[in-house]
Structure 1
């Protein structure tokens, strides 16, 4: 699943059964579960009955929003039993039978437990030990949010259309099919569907047969899948069209609504290239005969794409390039989404974590492969520098008291949903990058290939991977891996004063812990791989900091740079003299180390470990010719400081004036007009600078955006596609009532879903509280569409968090109807997360007590911690910034 977010439904906490589990049936290529595996694997279902194959017949009625179905499940019964319990959610059962060696019998009754999301089939006579088939008839509901089997409506020139899709991760297959809906219960699946003859049906596997039934219906049967987890099953239906290409013997496809296929060319070409790259890297060829990417209109607040094996679901904004509106950032986002989901075809689909505790084995690795593939396949985008941004995203969360280990204990469906977060994705990716740098890229790949071969079609825990890394590296890498994945937090490496003698620099390194909200916390202990060099030297020194302290000797006598290349997951705090020497040499550092130094300086200053103004000195030292991504980092950091001053107009204006003066020369150099042959990173920076200067209230940028918007009717070049969204964003942000009405009319008239969604976002982006209120009211009407409504409220929260949260809470039933049930525990706290108002702390705590189970308050607690930290920064750090600003000419 792409980008930290997941879908499922709320469930109460369930007692975890830890009795024995019989091994799954599996093809010859798949390893059988061992006894220790069976005993240690988490389940929320009684053990003793294990599925090996599902034959599902599904008949959806899109207009009625219902479906009927029959499923026949081949199971192995370990010991005689009168009952079989499996997962089921919001299904209405007609009946069930069991057939085995002793004959066939009807279920005497079917008990449904909504709290545990289970159904229990009871039989008058015990089912004997051995194989049985369970045949179950039932019906269910088609939803309107991206969970279970759901519909998405969209406009076309010919009128309103409706398409159907499924989204089962993490625990929603049970809402379409009674099943053992846990990742370790792998089985094969045969899906057939009865659907309108004029529509295209899509599944994980190619169509095996299609039979016309009359009355405008057809029965489509798909080939049997390999052994896989329930959450990877997929079905789609609609007025679709498909483009294909062959890659290494696999048919790669992109499926879109009719009329949009031309926008899929980039995704199709890149999918074919990625498949070849991954076949080579993993050393195990993609095993299915086809791999489709399915583009869907609409959006979710919590995910952009889902890795269903052979049938990746992706919202259109992350798959299609529309020449009228798409930007360089859109192209890169499409690529990274493709790379992430296709990496999951191995890490997640072929080899799956046993339980959600080890979700990072799916998401952290897919994120790392996404970054690796992008850097390798598109070096012109220079995405290697983005590793610092990824690491910073993880550390920002990991330095709060509300963090958790990468490998975490998951006890409920809701907790599994909340596990799709920054720690799982971004910290997971960053730790992998550090370990790969420690053992070497070739060694790392050898370990990954061995892991794939040994565990294909099976389930694993993290230690299964670490064993392969230890074996390939010939040293105990697992000890380091355990430190960074089994405990939370961010190591802090303190660098003492350096001594240069005989051409070498010596220094003492000590390990503490970086925390934003627990100054007196006793530091945890990590074994930290450190890479260092002196500025001006290309010779690296490597050392493992363990037991809290070590000495380091580095060739050369220039300023010492610790975490050279920025592969380490830790913060670096230099002694004052060392920090000063690095600041003086800042302009000569490689771009990735400039990014690392800026990031550490900003975070350490805000946490009170050094003068917060030291960061602004580095901003002053950033040369005009610095890499565009360095200036992008500077722009983002200045924007963050602007937000910290929210509510104090005079102080904010003083800071904004300085920030505008610092960025204006960069904007002048970059210009509004793209130049022939300019780097992709320059195009991205142009949009970043315009957006940031707009936030800072730069009158020149605001006036130019308005001029271009006004001229666009007679001069199409005034708003080129690459800047259209950026310019409209400035205009909307600073709109008056008449401009807002104009944008509203454009949104109402627009028929292209991608453009329409953007326009409704713009309506929710005004700095004017009165227009923000109009956007909130609009969001709860039918006009924007069900998937745009929650997005609009979220967009308002960026500039008006208190307003958006209060509004959503005042209309909680209407808002809840527009988001799936499990998302509520994340959605409402995130509306408030950007607040700096002390009153919000009590509001959030009261919301959590009233609406969330005690086990489902992770996002609420994190938002509270973020707000508390923001209040602390405003009170304790901004005065140092004010003092520094007063000294600037």
Structure 2
């Protein structure tokens, strides 16, 4: 699953070809006893035959399912997971043609999301068929079977889709709705004539019914988990292409198929790459990507086997508005979700404890593949962003291990976070670097072949990697996945003698909010060099290591930035390294910037260390370096809310540093300019607009005004950053202009983007208007929550208070899986101590204990933000005063 609002900037080292292993049987069924389940262990399903009749107009469906199952222990009842389903009949038989035994009683437990079917006669061990007739609800948010309403050329349309991860298949099909209980699925659906239905497998037959509807039957799926089942129906179009014997498709609402060509081409390239990398070819006959209007607060795409679901703003490229960044996101989403066809679908974690086996690996493959197939994007440089995103969460006391204990559905929903995705990816990147690309790939291939169609835990992977590498890895992997936190490698002053440099390293722990915490212990793979010299590898074990490096000069630790740790240099070592900043590889410049900023704010070194680097960065530094500097300065600008004099000093410094860079980049793209320059241009317009650069704001206003009559005034590459500046600085008249444009827009994708912009206003009164608009029907059922989130970017306290005051309405426009996360996500951006009490009160009143993880993290983030304001910003103020001029 591609999570919403997480950084897609990630990378791993390239994997080289290795011999393909032989496909063997799946993991043994005996492992069932070791796997968490919330159901009795008396029976397991083997096949579901589902007949579905949706009634989109009335937001309901009727269905019947026949489940083939094996009773393992004698029992007089069967308990399945079911949510919001009403049963009209239930019966069981010992097989086709055998006598039916009607259920004597059906108990539905809404709180536990189960249905228990009781039988007068005990069921002995053996094979049975359970037939259930029932009805259910079609929701308006992405949980279970749901509808999306959208404008298509000014005409209102409705389409149906499913979203089952992590635990919402039970909203459409009563089932053993847990990843370990794999089974095959045969689906048929009764649909309106003229509409297109899609599921995991190809359609095998379509027949006309007497009432004009159509009965569509799909081929039986391979053995898979319930959360991977998919069904969709609507007025769709489909484009196809063949690759390695597989029919690839992209399905869109009618009229937008032309926007899918890049995604289709990307799918062909990625499938070819993955078939080769994994050594086990994609096993289904087709693979569709279904592009849907609307959006979710929880995710942007979902890896249903053979039928990937993606919100259209994450995959389609409308030539009127698409940017280089949009193109990158489209490719990344395809690469991520297609990686899941192996990591997650073919081989599935046994329980949500090991969710990272799905998400961390898909994120790593996404980054590795993007860099391999689009080297012009320099995607490997984004690895620092990925690591930083993980460490920002991992350095708080509220963090958790990569492999975490999951007991409930709510906990499973909250496991989709930056630790699972980004730390998982960063740790994989480090371990691959440690054992070597070829050995890593051989281990992955062996793992994939050995456990195909089965379930695994993390140690199954480490076992295969260790065999392939013939090098111990499990202990290191356990250090980084079974315990939380971020190692801190301290670098002492180096000593150079006889052309060699010796440096002492000690291991501590990087924490944002536990200053006196006793550090955990890690075995840390370290790569170091003197600038320009040969790299040397070492394993910091037991808390200390000594390294001897060829050559003399500044010592760079974590060379290549593959390590998951912060690097803290002695003042002298940092000063020497900073002096050589311009001669360092770009990725190491990014690493030094990231570490100096994080360590400075945490109090491990002067908070001004980053500013020293930013002040001396060469004008011709890589675009990624300037994007990092601009991004940090923009984030720092947000920390000065309510401190106008200090903020003004930062704004002057930011303009002085970034305006000359923007002058080099310019408003207009040069012919054949690098993609990274296009991204930098957009970032600089946004940040300079935010810090009040008069020239940028004036030109943005000029172009916006001119665009009313001159369509060339806002080319696609400039449209979004310019509108962002306009929306942030909007007065009432401008806000109404944007509002009118949103109402008039006929493209569902562009309409949603324009409505979202209405929440970006700095003006508090306009922000309040956006909040009120979000709860009306006007923006659409899935747009309102996004508007409120956008308001929270500038006005978190206003947005949170509004959301709490209208909580019941908010719950209706947020995915069920997101509700325990949505409210903390609004308030967690605040710097007001009062918000801590508000969040605690919210959690105490509305959340179960196991669903309060995001609330606790939001509180920890606020406490750290307050600490930075009181303890670190004065250091930055002093530096800015000293360097004013």
Question: Scaled by the length of structure 1, what TM-score is found?
Answer: 0.97
**How far apart are 1:493 and its partner, in Å?**
0.2
2:797 pairs, out of 796, 802, 817, with 802
Q: Name the residue aligned to 1:18.
A: none
Q: Name the residue aligned to 1:610.
A: 605
Equivalent-residue separation in structure 2 for 1:293 and 1:540 (angstroms) = 43
1:621 pairs, out of 616, 619, 624, with 616
Is the 2:27–2:456 Cα contact (8 Å) retained in structure 1? no
Q: Name the residue aligned to 2:750.
A: 755
Equivalent-residue separation in structure 2 for 1:394 and 1:33 (angstroms) = 31
**How far apart are 1:701 and its partner, in Å?**
1.0
Q: Name the residue aligned to 1:24.
A: none
Which runs of 5 or more residues in structure 2 are unaligned? 7-21
Equivalent-residue separation in structure 2 for 1:617 and 1:519 (angstroms) = 25
1:435 pairs, out of 409, 431, 454, with 431
Equivalent-residue separation in structure 1 for 2:712 and 2:454 (angstroms) = 55
Q: Name the residue aligned to 1:546.
A: 541
- Within a 5 Å distance, the mapping from 1:337-352 to structure 2 comes to 337-352=333-348
Structure 2 CA distance for partners of 1:288 and 1:36, relative to 1, 3 Å: closer
2:113 pairs, out of 102, 113, 117, with 117
The question of 1:48 aligning with 2:42 is answered yes
The question of 1:72 aligning with 2:102 is answered no
**How far apart are 1:788 and its partner, in Å?**
0.5
Q: Name the residue aligned to 2:518.
A: 522
Equivalent-residue separation in structure 2 for 1:296 and 1:820 (angstroms) = 16
2:581 pairs, out of 557, 564, 586, with 586
**How far apart are 1:35 and its partner, in Å?**
6.5
Equivalent-residue separation in structure 2 for 1:802 and 1:130 (angstroms) = 59
Q: Name the residue aligned to 2:737.
A: 742
The question of 1:382 aligning with 2:378 is answered yes
Alignment deviations for residues 256-276 of structure 1 (CA, whole Å, 9 cap, x no partner): 010000000000011011100
Structure 2 CA distance for partners of 1:4 and 1:443, relative to 1, 3 Å: farther
Equivalent-residue separation in structure 2 for 1:866 and 1:704 (angstroms) = 36
Equivalent-residue separation in structure 1 for 2:739 and 2:141 (angstroms) = 24
Alignment deviations for residues 608-660 of structure 1 (CA, whole Å, 9 cap, x no partner): 00000111000012111111011000000001111111111111111111111
1:94 pairs, out of 65, 88, 106, with 88
Equivalent-residue separation in structure 2 for 1:379 and 1:823 (angstroms) = 35
Alignment deviations for residues 221-271 of structure 1 (CA, whole Å, 9 cap, x no partner): 000000000000000000001000000000000000100000000000110
**How far apart are 1:399 and its partner, in Å?**
0.3
Equivalent-residue separation in structure 2 for 1:562 and 1:362 (angstroms) = 31
Q: Name the residue aligned to 2:667.
A: 672
The question of 1:252 aligning with 2:243 is answered no
Task: Report the 3-state secondary structure (helix = DSSP H, G, I; strand = E; otherwise coil) of the residue aligned with 2:628.
Answer: helix
Alignment deviations for residues 186-226 of structure 1 (CA, whole Å, 9 cap, x no partner): 00000000111110000100001111113220100000000
Q: Name the residue aligned to 1:732.
A: 727
Q: Name the residue aligned to 1:711.
A: 706
Q: Name the residue aligned to 2:55.
A: 61
Q: Name the residue aligned to 1:572.
A: 567
Task: Report the 3-state secondary structure (helix = DSSP H, G, I; strand = E; otherwise coil) of the residue aligned with 1:63.
Answer: helix
Task: Report the 3-state secondary structure (helix = DSSP H, G, I; strand = E; otherwise coil) of the residue aligned with 1:764.
Answer: helix
Is the 1:808–1:828 Cα contact (8 Å) retained in structure 2? yes
Q: Name the residue aligned to 1:23.
A: none
- Between 526-535 and 692-701, the greater mean CA deviation after superposition: 692-701
Is the 1:670–1:686 Cα contact (8 Å) retained in structure 2? yes
Aligned CA-pair RMSD: 1.2
Q: Name the residue aligned to 2:18.
A: none
Equivalent-residue separation in structure 2 for 1:707 and 1:562 (angstroms) = 48
* Number of equivalenced pairs: 867
Alignment deviations for residues 444-466 of structure 1 (CA, whole Å, 9 cap, x no partner): 00000000000000000000000
- Within a 5 Å distance, the mapping from 1:838-849 to structure 2 comes to 838-849=833-844
**How far apart are 1:814 and its partner, in Å?**
1.1
Structure 2 CA distance for partners of 1:477 and 1:4, relative to 1, 3 Å: farther
The question of 1:335 aligning with 2:336 is answered no
Task: Report the 3-state secondary structure (helix = DSSP H, G, I; strand = E; otherwise coil) of the residue aligned with 1:304.
Answer: strand
Q: Name the residue aligned to 1:22.
A: none
Alignment deviations for residues 729-754 of structure 1 (CA, whole Å, 9 cap, x no partner): 11111011111111111111111011
Is the 1:5–1:420 Cα contact (8 Å) retained in structure 2? no
Q: Name the residue aligned to 1:655.
A: 650
1:459 pairs, out of 451, 455, 462, with 455
Question: Scaled by the length of structure 2, what TM-score is found?
Answer: 0.97
Q: Name the residue aligned to 1:2.
A: 2
Q: Name the residue aligned to 1:422.
A: 418
Equivalent-residue separation in structure 1 for 2:154 and 2:666 (angstroms) = 41
Is the 1:5–1:421 Cα contact (8 Å) retained in structure 2? no
Q: Name the residue aligned to 1:865.
A: 860
**How far apart are 1:32 and its partner, in Å?**
5.7
Structure 2 CA distance for partners of 1:34 and 1:285, relative to 1, 3 Å: closer
The question of 1:886 aligning with 2:881 is answered yes
Is the 2:24–2:449 Cα contact (8 Å) retained in structure 1? no
Structure 2 CA distance for partners of 1:673 and 1:884, relative to 1, 3 Å: same
Equivalent-residue separation in structure 1 for 2:403 and 2:691 (angstroms) = 40
Equivalent-residue separation in structure 1 for 2:571 and 2:873 (angstroms) = 21
**How far apart are 1:4 and its partner, in Å?**
6.2
Q: Name the residue aligned to 2:400.
A: 404
Is the 1:845–1:860 Cα contact (8 Å) retained in structure 2? yes
Task: Report the 3-state secondary structure (helix = DSSP H, G, I; strand = E; otherwise coil) of the residue aligned with 2:120.
Answer: strand
Q: Name the residue aligned to 1:267.
A: 263
Task: Report the 3-state secondary structure (helix = DSSP H, G, I; strand = E; otherwise coil) of the residue aligned with 1:743.
Answer: helix
The question of 1:282 aligning with 2:278 is answered yes
Equivalent-residue separation in structure 2 for 1:645 and 1:185 (angstroms) = 52
2:771 pairs, out of 763, 768, 776, with 776
Equivalent-residue separation in structure 1 for 2:761 and 2:545 (angstroms) = 53
The question of 1:692 aligning with 2:713 is answered no
**How far apart are 1:181 and its partner, in Å?**
0.2
**How far apart are 1:39 and its partner, in Å?**
1.8
**How far apart are 1:5 and its partner, in Å?**
8.0
1:83 pairs, out of 57, 70, 77, with 77
- Within a 5 Å distance, the mapping from 1:189-268 to structure 2 comes to 189-268=185-264
Is the 1:4–1:421 Cα contact (8 Å) retained in structure 2? no
**How far apart are 1:29 and its partner, in Å?**
7.4
**How far apart are 1:717 and its partner, in Å?**
2.1
- Within a 5 Å distance, the mapping from 1:138-157 to structure 2 comes to 138-157=134-153
**How far apart are 1:762 and its partner, in Å?**
1.0
Equivalent-residue separation in structure 2 for 1:710 and 1:90 (angstroms) = 51
Is the 1:29–1:457 Cα contact (8 Å) retained in structure 2? no
Equivalent-residue separation in structure 2 for 1:157 and 1:247 (angstroms) = 33
Is the 1:242–1:254 Cα contact (8 Å) retained in structure 2? yes
Equivalent-residue separation in structure 1 for 2:677 and 2:49 (angstroms) = 53
Q: Greater relative contact order (Cα 8 A, min sep 6): structure 1 or 2?
A: 2
Equivalent-residue separation in structure 2 for 1:174 and 1:498 (angstroms) = 61
**How far apart are 1:716 and its partner, in Å?**
2.2
The question of 1:172 aligning with 2:168 is answered yes
Equivalent-residue separation in structure 1 for 2:258 and 2:736 (angstroms) = 32
The question of 1:135 aligning with 2:114 is answered no
Is the 2:23–2:280 Cα contact (8 Å) retained in structure 1? no
**How far apart are 1:819 and its partner, in Å?**
1.1
Task: Report the 3-state secondary structure (helix = DSSP H, G, I; strand = E; otherwise coil) of the residue aligned with 2:383.
Answer: helix
Alignment deviations for residues 549-578 of structure 1 (CA, whole Å, 9 cap, x no partner): 010011110100000000000000011111
Task: Report the 3-state secondary structure (helix = DSSP H, G, I; strand = E; otherwise coil) of the residue aligned with 2:704.
Answer: helix
Equivalent-residue separation in structure 2 for 1:155 and 1:3 (angstroms) = 25
**How far apart are 1:848 and its partner, in Å?**
0.9
